[in-house]
Amino acid sequence: MVRYIWSAFGVAVALASIPMGASAQTYPSKPIKFIVPYAPGGLPDTVARWVSQRLTERLGQSVVVDNKPGGNGVVAYQALLQSTPSDGHAFIVSDGSMLSITPQINKSATYRIGNELVPVSMIATSPLFIVAHPKSGVNSFKEFVDAVKAKPGEFSYGSSGIGSTHHLTMEALKAALNLDVRHIPFRGSGQSTPALVGGQVEFSVAALPSIAGFVKAGQVKLLASNALERSKQAPDIPAVAETVPNFNFAVVVGVLGSKDTPQFAIDRISKEISEVVKMPELIKSFNDAVIEPVGAGPAEYLKVIQRENEAMAKAGKAAQIAAN
């Protein structure tokens, strides 16, 4: 009996020393799932699909996108937990709002970066733009500030919803420059952009691809971007940061894993994405959509998340957002 126990113990010790190396060598061993917390067509979904195609070619396993909208990211997180994340074949691809904004407005969002979720790879960033309708009479960011200060409370702006990056970009700007402009929330950019073009609101915050055609037609006017620097695709449009130092609310899209995700899986996915975003054809696709490829690893991505969380928390407080 004693001999059997020691023999079994020896086998267990031997087996315990194998999995990490063996798993790392055979990873991935099945299709990888990229869970996106939004419906198809948005920025995170677009980035996830472009990157997944290239990863499929490099990894020898399919990388599939699984859209799980709902709860501002909570549904996606629940889907991640149900996908056996401990084997390293399921991840979330999202913007930072599910980490920085969702916990402010949804009490069921109990996850936190560094605890339940860990950073894997920062894929890309993309600016949003403050946009004006011609009826506002505003043609530049300076004119926007001057007009709103001259007529406090008389102008309105549209966003893609309460707690969205679009919403908090403007609320942070209002707080920084002591502006009074009314917020009109819509259900996504699919509603807020037509509202701007139709003159229901004088201003809006929007991604360039969704308004580029209207800008070209002279139906709306770009005023400023919410990124730290000017966009390469709109170099004549100033960044708000040129007026408000360090102002940066550009959308950040990255890959997140469960706390149980093996380190070898995190390392492999991060490494492959850093290579994929350097591919000329993917760079062109990104640039055409006003997306800046990054491909940063977990440590750098964590710093960006922490900065974004701090900025969004401050903006959320200014907007008097409360969890429900």
- CB under 8 Å to 284, separation ≥6 — which residues? none
Average pLDDT value for residue range 14-31? 66
- Tell me the per-residue pLDDT of 70-108, one tens digit each, with 9 for 90 and over: 887 899 999 999 988 788 999 999 998 889 888 888 888
Backbone angles phi, psi at 243, to 5 degrees: -105, -40
Helix locations, 60-116, DSSP H: 74-81, 97-100, 102-105
Is the pLDDT confidence value at 21 over 80?
A: no
Domains and their CATH numbers in the chain: 2-126+251-318 (3.40.190.150), 128-242 (3.40.190.10)
- Tell me the per-residue pLDDT of 148-180, one tens digit each, with 9 for 90 and over: 999 999 999 999 888 888 999 999 999 999 999
Average pLDDT value for residue range 310-317? 87
Asked if residues 315 and 244 have their Cβ atoms less than 8 Å apart, the reply is no
User: Residue 10 has what pLDDT?
Assistant: 47
Residue 5's alpha-carbon distances to 1, 13, 50, 174, 192, in angstroms, are 6, 12, 53, 70, 69
User: Residue 323 has what pLDDT?
Assistant: 62
- Tell me the per-residue pLDDT of 226-270, one tens digit each, with 9 for 90 and over: 999 999 889 999 999 999 999 999 999 999 999 999 999 999 999
Q: Is 32 exposed, middle or buried (0-12, 13-18, 19+ CB in 10 A)?
A: buried
- Tell me the per-residue pLDDT of 4-18, one tens digit each, with 9 for 90 and over: 444 444 444 444 433
